[in-house]
Amino acid sequence: MTTAFIGQPVSRVDGRQKVTGAARYAAEFDLPRQAHGAIVRSTVANGRIASIDSAAAERGPGVVAVLTHRNAPRLPYSPHKGAVDPQVGERLHVLQDDRVSHQGQPIALVIADTVEQARHAAALVRVTYTPESWTTDITRVAPVQPTQQKTDQGEVRPPATRRGDPEGALASAEVKVEQTYIHPRENHNPIEMHATIAAWDGDRLTLWDKTQWVHNTAEEIAAVFGIPAQNVRVISPFVGGAFGSSLRTWPHVTLAALGARAAGRPVKVMLSRREMYYGVGYRPHTVQQVALGASRDGRLAAIMHDGYQETSTYEEFSEALLNASRFLYSCPNVDTRHRLARMNVHTPTYMRAPGEASGVFALESAMDELAVALNMDPVELRLLNEPERDEFKKLPFSSRSTRACYRAAAERFGWSRRSAQPRSMRDGRLLIGWGMATATYPMNFAPASAMARLLPDGTAEVTSAASDMGPGTWTSMTQVAAEALGLPIERVKFVLGDTRLPNAPVHGGSLTMASVGSAVQAACRKAREDALARGGANDLLEAVRRIGQPVEASVDTNPGDESQRFSMHAFGAVFVEVAVDPDLGETRVRSMVGAYGAGRIVNPKLTRSQCIGGMIGGIGMALMEHAVLDARNGRVPNANLAEYPVPVHADTPPVMEAIFVEEHDLHVNPLGVKGVGEIAMVGVAPAITNAIFHATGKRIRELPATPDKLL
Amino acid sequence: MSSDEITRREVLVLTAATGGLLAGGQLMWGPVSPAAAQDAASTPTPLEVMLRINGKEHRLTLDPRTTLLDAVREHLHLTGSKKGCGLGQCGACTVLMDGKRVKSCLSLAALMEGREITTIEGLAQGEVLHPLQAAFIERDAFQCGYCTSGQIMAGVACINEGHAGSPEEIREWMSGNLCRCGAYDHIVAAIQDAAAAPSATQGG
Ligand code: FES
Ligand code: FES
């Protein structure tokens, strides 16, 4: 019997639950006597509530209560900032006063016996406003320097960096590219809409919530209500996709708890699809200027990358827009500057590959433009500017497999058959284009805890309050645990998603495998060693049988000083073939090959799913996704899945490949993993728009590349 | 948003309060929702509805506005059918009605009397998974699993309709079912596998 499970294509351990409908998501833990909440939202972008008349709603059949700022209890809202919250500014306080700062801000909660009654009564609440002037047009906002920025890892991220003499180098460069790239607002749009069920028992609260971080939700809600965090239990075994939308604890979670307290019974709040555009964050609209200077032979002399993004009036959300430009290529003269456009919108948040997805779109588009200006193969140009070390952090890379990725993906794709000239490749009347881009995403490793419990019958239960929004935490942790324990997978049960379990970090930033995985491995190894020692046997089953009672081991793992010694990132390369219809302007992606150097791959089957899923997300970003913000009033007129198109089955390229190049990184973390959830999204959009240029000779600098831009 | 509606009187009040702002044409109000036109008294009378779901009869007293999806999820606590939009746009709520796929969020429960409804919970034969369910696990045709019930129900119908002849055909006929995790490639492979399996046209 082998127990070498890491690296095996194990099928999902929760697969049966998911294909039979037995897996339960947040809204599916109905409780006896449960009532339903419906949220009334503001219809102005800035101002005060002049009057709010809830009499008709209160008379509605089945209505239990209507909460507004006039009758809702004043909540303590003690300071709380999780690593997922903007470090500057203060979160939205719900139903605490008459202020409205954006369209769609919650201004009342109706609680009724049924969901139909609650929604009906919500429509009966009458509100008038005293509007104040507002800012919802990013083209008319003067962007400002952020106060301060921290990464989700808590380290300070400089808003501006500089090395060498970028202006001088650019001025004297033989070849230059200077362009502006625009990325519109995008919404996560997980198929599961956000939902919370709240139930109080005295001053103890239980929340069934869609969250990527149960412990932070508990701490946030405890701070809001002024109760100890241990009084709040958060349960979230399955998350129906999130991509960042469930990192923060949004106002509807507070409203569910508030409603349950007011009603004296459990309350469920499920957002509508439209509400998903007004209350759970989004990837911000960004405007980026990139200037590249190079010598005739293609060596980068200057990189200047200046970008700004929208944020709300009450919080400064910043993403790592410019990170990649600081280290991805070797260049002595680099200037990056990040700014914020404060508007009357709700605060944006992290969305899959936050910062990198938009920032690398700008950088890699500019690199392609430079290759064209130099008349050089785009892969050649990148190879020529490969850095030996991270020139920003002045540290060696823990590992960097860009060269291997270019080679593997180019080979699989057949890049050598590319004819360089735009519009030179055709299939009948369709224009064919081949493009590529580099991808990168940091390796994140956060403190985590896990507990392993070996039972006398030779089975084990391993726990950590981690989350699984889709990548397969349930399965990969079971694999790591089984291997470390030396038990068959069927004998190991991994449990996650409950604040009663040992602390886990946020499920985001591709850090779960590294962080929780390392804790699980350590806890299981310790439990095994303890059992063998105590049982006085070489065989684990024999040892636990002799001991006759459970053997438990709890371990906390912490990152060491590796981030001081190494620059740690996953790297990759994406190659794309598009076909553009010259008469209709429609772009279809026909083939996409991504190669990734992401350390050890725990489960190639699930990792492939995650990677092709990220690539599909990239197709959405490149070709269709755009949450339109009506500049006149801050509304999102296309706040639904019909008018905000996302990729469907028919958009899937017939050829999709994810290649994992062999990479042994001993520095990053005990498991040697880097995570792939984010990097799979990075580089896809520029690879597609670069391919569109190759097909048509038209450069798309403002996403998405819709037909109107290609006609 | 449920508060988009505003009465004409309130627009006038607001106009008075804001003066020049409105003149600049910067305010845009949503249409008056039909619900707002109703008052609390005009409440629909609950209906007795007999639903036949997965071979079992269920007598329910329902608000006539209740959709089939809300009836199974909220009233029968059969939560395998998912709600991803409630607008007919995502397919997560797909069930079979007399063997044909329908979006249960667009179907009123009260109109389903006499119909045979199959949800994901009714697809397996006891412990034995439907070939498409098994193929979904084998092919890793999902990540978060939230679109999965709808994909499987639509996939079963797609096979039964004879629309699973090639990957291209499957992609076309499955495009009403969104998967934000992007599992499409594997879903198509699973449908192909199941279409080739001898017992694939069972169930539903
Ligand atoms: S919930 Fe029915 S189509 Fe989305
Ligand atoms: S598996 Fe997550 S939406 Fe399809």
A678 is catalytic: yes
Domain total of chain B? 3
Q: Kindly report the CATH number assigned to the domain that includes residue B186.
A: 1.10.150.120
Interface check for A20 against chain B (CB to CB < 8 A): the answer is: yes
Q: How many residues does chain B have?
A: 204
- Residue ranges of chain A with pLDDT lower than 70? 1-2, 148-157
Please give the residue range of the domain that contains residue B33.
8-40
* CA gap B185, B175 in Å, rounded: 12
* CA gap A303, A317 in Å, rounded: 25
Smallest-distance ligand from the CA of A189: 2
- State whether B144 and B162 are in the same domain: yes
Q: Kindly report the CATH number assigned to the domain that includes residue B118.
A: 3.10.20.30
Tens-digit pLDDT profile for residues A685-707: 999 999 999 999 999 999 999 99
CB proximity list for A303: less than 8 A, separation 6 or greater: A166, A290, A291, A292, A325, A329, A331, A333, A334, A335, A336, A363
Domain boundary among B98, B122, B146: B122
Domain total of chain A? 3
Asked whether the beta carbons of A304 and A180 are under 8 A apart, the reply is no
- State both tokens at A232: 């709040």
- State whether A317 and A429 are in the same domain: yes
Give me the helix-helix angle, A512-535 and A540-547, nearest 10°. Answer: 70
* CA gap A425, A434 in Å, rounded: 9
The edge-to-edge listing of strands for the beta sheet with A448-454 is: A492-495, A460-463, A448-454, A551-557
- State whether B53 and B98 are in the same domain: yes
Asked whether the beta carbons of A588 and A578 are under 8 A apart, the reply is yes
Asked whether the beta carbons of A69 and A49 are under 8 A apart, the reply is yes
User: Ligand 1 pocket test: which of B74, B87, B119, B149 has the largest number of ligand atoms within 8 Å of its C-beta?
Assistant: B87
Interface check for A61 against chain B (CB to CB < 8 A): the answer is: yes
The verdict on residue B2 lying in a domain is no
Provide the pLDDT confidence category of residue B42 given band limits of 50, 70 and 90.
low
The verdict on residue A10 lying in a domain is no
The reply to whether ligand 2 has any atom less than 6 angstroms from the CB of A60 is: no
- State whether A599 and A626 are in the same domain: yes
- State whether A287 and A416 are in the same domain: yes
Asked whether the beta carbons of A637 and A628 are under 8 A apart, the reply is yes
Tens-digit pLDDT profile for residues B46-104: 999 999 999 999 999 999 999 999 999 999 999 999 999 999 999 999 999 999 999 99
* CA gap A19, B136 in Å, rounded: 7
Which member of B17, B74, B143 has the closest CB to residue A471? B143
Pairing of strands A448-454, A460-463: antiparallel
- State both tokens at A88: 């500057």
* CA gap B127, B114 in Å, rounded: 28
The verdict on residue B78 lying in a domain is yes
pLDDT for position B27: 30
DSSP A102: S
- State whether A573 and A508 are in the same domain: no
Asked whether the beta carbons of A245 and A194 are under 8 A apart, the reply is yes
B199: number of Cβ within 10 Å: 11
Tens-digit pLDDT profile for residues B22-39: 222 223 333 334 444 444
The verdict on residue A28 lying in a domain is no
Cβ-defined contact of B124 to A126 (cutoff 8 Å): no
Asked whether the beta carbons of B161 and A592 are under 8 A apart, the reply is no
pLDDT for position A156: 64
DSSP-derived secondary structure for A531-543: HHHHHT-SSHHHH
* CA gap B89, A625 in Å, rounded: 15
The reply to whether ligand 1 has any atom less than 6 angstroms from the CB of B105 is: yes
Domain boundary among A558, A578, A598: A558
Task: Give the sign of the dihedral formed by CA A367, CA A369, CA A370, CA A375.
Answer: positive
Task: State in Å: Cα A469 to ligand 2 middle.
Answer: 9
Q: Kindly report the CATH number assigned to the domain that includes residue A330.
A: 3.30.365.10
- State whether A318 and A438 are in the same domain: yes
- State whether B100 and B143 are in the same domain: no
- State whether B150 and B184 are in the same domain: yes
- State whether B169 and B191 are in the same domain: yes
The verdict on residue B204 lying in a domain is no
- State both tokens at A328: 């991805």
- State whether B100 and B157 are in the same domain: no
- State whether B51 and B111 are in the same domain: yes
CB proximity list for B66: less than 8 A, separation 6 or greater: A116, B74, B75, B108, B109, B110
ipTM over 0.85: yes
Interface check for A195 against chain B (CB to CB < 8 A): the answer is: no
- State whether A390 and A416 are in the same domain: yes
Please give the residue range of the domain that contains residue A513.
446-558
| Nearest partner of A506 among A209, A248, A155, judged by Cα | A248
- State both tokens at A335: 């200037």
Task: State in Å: Cα B94 to ligand 1 middle.
Answer: 7
The reply to whether ligand 2 has any atom less than 6 angstroms from the CB of B143 is: yes
Cβ-defined contact of A121 to B40 (cutoff 8 Å): yes
Which member of B2, B36, B119 has the closest CB to residue A21? B119
Look up tokens 């702002």; give the residue: B21
In this structure, the residue with its CA closest to atom 3 of ligand 2 is: B179
- State both tokens at A565: 């010694």
The verdict on residue A139 lying in a domain is no
- State whether B143 and B187 are in the same domain: yes
The verdict on residue A24 lying in a domain is no
Q: Which H or E run contains A688?
A: helix A684-696
Q: How far is CA A274 from the centre of its chain?
A: 20
What are the two backbone dihedrals, phi and then psi, of residue A353, each rounded to the nearest 5 degrees? 60, 55
Domain boundary among A228, A257, A279: A279
pLDDT for position A147: 85
Q: How many residues does chain A have?
A: 711
Give SS3 for A344: coil
The verdict on residue A20 lying in a domain is no
What value does the mean pLDDT take over residues B177-195?
A: 98
- State both tokens at A112: 């009724």
- State whether A127 and A154 are in the same domain: no
Closest residue of B to A39, CA-based?
A: B2
- State whether A300 and A425 are in the same domain: yes
- State whether A273 and A171 are in the same domain: no
The reply to whether ligand 1 has any atom less than 6 angstroms from the CB of B91 is: yes
Mean pLDDT of chain B: 83
- State whether A396 and A341 are in the same domain: yes
Provide the pLDDT confidence category of residue B5 given band limits of 50, 70 and 90.
very low
The reply to whether ligand 1 has any atom less than 6 angstroms from the CB of B176 is: no
- State whether B96 and B65 are in the same domain: yes
Domain boundary among A537, A558, A579: A558
- State whether B86 and B144 are in the same domain: no
How many alpha carbons lie under 13 Å from residue A298 in its C-beta half-sphere?
Answer: 19
Asked whether the beta carbons of A467 and A498 are under 8 A apart, the reply is no
Cβ-defined contact of B2 to A123 (cutoff 8 Å): yes
Interface check for B138 against chain A (CB to CB < 8 A): the answer is: yes
* CA gap A276, A639 in Å, rounded: 8
Provide the pLDDT confidence category of residue B198 given band limits of 50, 70 and 90.
confident
DSSP A686: H
Beta bridge partners of A578: A433, A589
Tens-digit pLDDT profile for residues A636-654: 999 999 999 999 999 999 9
CA of A615, closest CA in chain B: separation in Å?
Answer: 8
The verdict on residue B22 lying in a domain is yes
- State both tokens at A263: 């009603």
Interface check for B142 against chain A (CB to CB < 8 A): the answer is: yes
Provide the residue type at B34 as one letter: P
- State whether A162 and A310 are in the same domain: yes
